[in-house]
Amino acid sequence: MNMKSNISKPAVASNDTATDFVRGDAVVLINGDDNTLYEFSKVNTVLNAKCYITKPCKAKMLSVWISDIRHATTAEITARRRLDISTNGVLIA
């Protein structure tokens, strides 16, 4: 008898940062003075290292390097903006 498990397989770490994001993910820019919460739109089909992000309720897309964004934390989504990280790694307002 061949029984199949309904237990999900563990997530496999990916070296392809472009696949770490899906459309609709809340992201923030890692550096700079821009504390805006963005929405991930898509990967640039020509330059796989670039992607498009949009501001909430805006149609205009910005083209940025994938290495310049990260997923927003739960605290940032609640605050609706990027939070700064203190020297000990704690998010601060």
More confident of the two residues 33 and 69: 69
Do 18 and 43 form a contact (C-beta atoms < 8 A)?
yes
In a domain, 72, yes or no: yes
Specify the number of domains making up the chain: 1
What SS3 class is residue 52? strand
In a domain, 49, yes or no: yes
Dihedral angle sign, alpha carbons of residues 71, 75, 76, 80: positive
Domain with 52, as residue range(s), is 18-78
More confident of the two residues 11 and 29: 29
In a domain, 6, yes or no: no
In a domain, 93, yes or no: no
CATH number at residue 32: 2.30.30
What SS3 class is residue 45? coil
**Which tens digits make up the pLDDT trace of 23-54?**
999 999 988 788 889 999 998 878 878 999 99
Neighbours of 66 (CB within 10 A): 21
